[in-house]
Amino acid sequence: MKAKNMTEGRPLGLIMQFALPLLLGNLFQQTYNMVDAMIVGQTLGAKALAAVGSSSSVQFLVLGFCTGTCAGFGVPVAQRFGANDLSGMRKVVFNGAILTILIAIAVTGASAALCTWILNILQVQADIFENAYAYLIIIFWGIPFTLLYNYTSSILRAIGDSKSPFLFLALSAVLNIFLDYFCIVNLHMGVSGAAFATVFSQALSGVLCLIYIARKVDVLHIEKNERTFEGPLAWSIFSMGVPMGLQFSITAIGSMVMQSANNSLGTVYVSGFTAGMKIKQFLLCPFDALGTAVSTFASQNYGAGKMDRIHKGLWIGTVTAIVYAICAGVIMNVWGRDLSMLFLSAENTAELDAAALYVGRLGLMWWMLGLLNIYRMFIQGLGYTMRAVVGGAIEMVARTVVSFGFVPKFGYDAITWADQCAWSTAVVYLIPMCFITLKEIAHKLKQDEITSRFAK
């Protein structure tokens, strides 16, 4: 496999070529959860769907931490690749792998041990508690496989290969569809079958990525002298990756507070909110793909010291995100109820009304979420992960204020506006912070250039 250098060539073409496999991969990844929800909702009923969806925010917290941390571990890989420091890059990969293993042990143990407590905190109601626990505990035990796929795919993307992770994920997603149906309908495993299918499929995609790297990606083959755990280097990787994971988790804490408030409103709103969340997550995929592409583009060009290309990457990401957001917003408002029927039967009228209301109101401010993703990922790609964490904290505070301050009075109406409040407040911070970061790295690159010139 030939690594893809994004420091040369047309920025628009490079970003789009990189983003397309990511988009398809994200869509397939969402297929895991969507197929779970569709089969559970249509075959086991609305209460089973509520059980699966009642813990979606905590899944986002834990699995989002894993995904974000692995993405952060990929940033120094991309920067060293852009600087053509291949030996240093492989040392980063090795030390990042050790850290990933340690994180897998810690997060899996803690999540499994606290599963019951988490569901109680979320105010999961008694009629769906047993199924919610059965689903969530299996997802938690599958965390090592989530980390395996996300770390291996992250380092592949850091060197410009977004196609291979997509292919392996696509294969596992197709398997997940068959396993979902087989475990739930044929083996009568209930919601546990959906969770097992998801974990098994995720494990397959991770193992395939690992085998592919070992056999095909020569630039990532770590030499004996590069297989040393270096404390300062590991700390540098840790301090870049874990804050990115925490940024996902902090955002998820706000979502947990919001979901807890929504769970208290009753099963009808839990089911409607769950269906709406599935649509939201699916339509979010282009933002995630574009944000990751822009982030990788910025990382490599920062490593290469090409400031003009960094600016072009941000501009391309911003315009593309806004164009997509407008189109998606129309779809969400016109066909929100029809899309909700993928997860709920036609007789669930109240649940469908709740889902359509939530999705439609999200669509009105979808462009704001696009800006949030681009500017946050851009800052992360430049290595300033703590600044992105602050953005996540702002989102958390906004959702918490709406959940505690407005849901008791306005009920589900307040739930349908909570996300938009969080996006808007975070964007007010992230956009100026992004330009401050650009100014700082421009100064740093100029100073490095002057130092290098005098050294000669």
User: How far is residue 194's CA from residue 190's CA, in Å, rounded to a whole number?
Assistant: 7
Question: CA 70, 24, 372, 272 torsion: positive or negative?
Answer: negative
User: Is the per-residue pLDDT at 354 higher than 50?
Assistant: yes
**What is the model's pLDDT at position 311?**
94
Most confident of 117-126, 183-192, 193-202: 193-202
Length of the chain: 456
- Give the C-alpha distances (Å, rounded to integers) separating 277 from 112, 306, 322, 357, 451: 24, 39, 21, 12, 51
Please give the average per-residue pLDDT across 17-21, as a whole number.
Answer: 89
Please state the pTM of the whole predicted model.
0.79
Pick from 48-52, 58-62, 128-132, 147-151: least confident: 48-52
User: Is the per-residue pLDDT at 256 higher than 80?
Assistant: no
pLDDT digits (tens, 9 = 90+) for 150-182: 999 999 998 988 889 888 888 888 888 888 888
The residues spanned by each domain of the chain are: 11-455
When the pLDDT of each residue in the chain is averaged and rounded to a whole number, the result is: 87
Written as six digits, the tokens of 78 are 């991309």
User: Is the per-residue pLDDT at 147 higher than 90?
Assistant: yes
pLDDT digits (tens, 9 = 90+) for 205-245: 899 999 999 998 889 999 888 889 999 999 999 988 888 88
**What is the model's pLDDT at position 314?**
96
Pick from 140-149, 257-266, 318-327, 433-442: least confident: 257-266
Most confident of 85-94, 274-283, 444-453: 85-94
| Phi, psi angle pair for 213, to nearest 5° | -60, -45
Please give the average per-residue pLDDT across 385-398, as a whole number.
Answer: 90
Most confident of 13-22, 118-127, 182-191, 325-334: 325-334
**What is the model's pLDDT at position 456?**
46
Cβ atoms of residues 191 and 55 within 8 Å:
no
pLDDT digits (tens, 9 = 90+) for 86-133: 999 999 999 999 999 999 999 999 989 988 888 887 777 777 788 888
Question: How confident is residue 434, by pLDDT bands cut at 50, 70 and 90?
Answer: very high
Most confident of 3-12, 155-164, 341-350: 155-164
Please give the average per-residue pLDDT across 275-282, as a whole number.
Answer: 87
